[in-house]
Amino acid sequence: SAVISQKPSRDICQRGTSLTIQCQVDSQVTMMFWYRQQPGQSLTLIATANQGSEATYESGFVIDKFPISRPNLTFSTLTVSNMSPEDSSIYLCSVTNRAAYEQYFGPGTRLTVT
């Protein structure tokens, strides 16, 4: 298994500003994932972050809005840019166990945009 930490755990931000969320893993992993969980809803994959290459974004998500960095095999950041109230969600970082493809999740960052 992997232990994942995220910072901040929660934040309240004003519209038009940006927030960078950090994700730290206790072991080296090839692939890291960023998900969004809107209130009362399921998880939606935003992008896959690979070390040494650009992130791969899912349909409906773009780099200008959600820039991602992956400087090494244990760390990644997701920035939510030019925020609006619709961005209020829980943002989750995860990594995968390639043996069975199960995922391990960080505790999440609860973002509220006012």
Partner 1 sequence: GNSVTQMEGPVTLSEEAFLTINCTYTATGYPSLFWYVQYPGEGLQLLLKATKADDKGSNKGFEATYRKETTSFHLEKGSVQVSDSAVYFCALSDRGTNAGKSTFGDGTTLTVKP
Residues of this chain that bind partner 1 (CB under 8 A): 31, 33, 41-43, 45, 48, 92, 96, 98, 100-108
Q: Which is nearer to partner 1, 61 or 104 (CB)?
A: 104
Closest distance to partner 1 from the beta carbon of 82 (Å): 26
CA 107 remoteness from chain centre:
11
Q: Which is nearer to partner 1, 37 or 81 (CB)?
A: 37
**Residue 40, number of CB atoms within 10 A of its CB:** 5
Q: First-to-last CA distance in the chain?
A: 36
Distances (CA, A) of 109 to 3, 51, 61, 100, 104: 16, 22, 18, 26, 15
Q: Which is nearer to partner 1, 19 or 91 (CB)?
A: 91
Closest distance to partner 1 from the beta carbon of 101 (Å): 4
Closest distance to partner 1 from the beta carbon of 31 (Å): 5
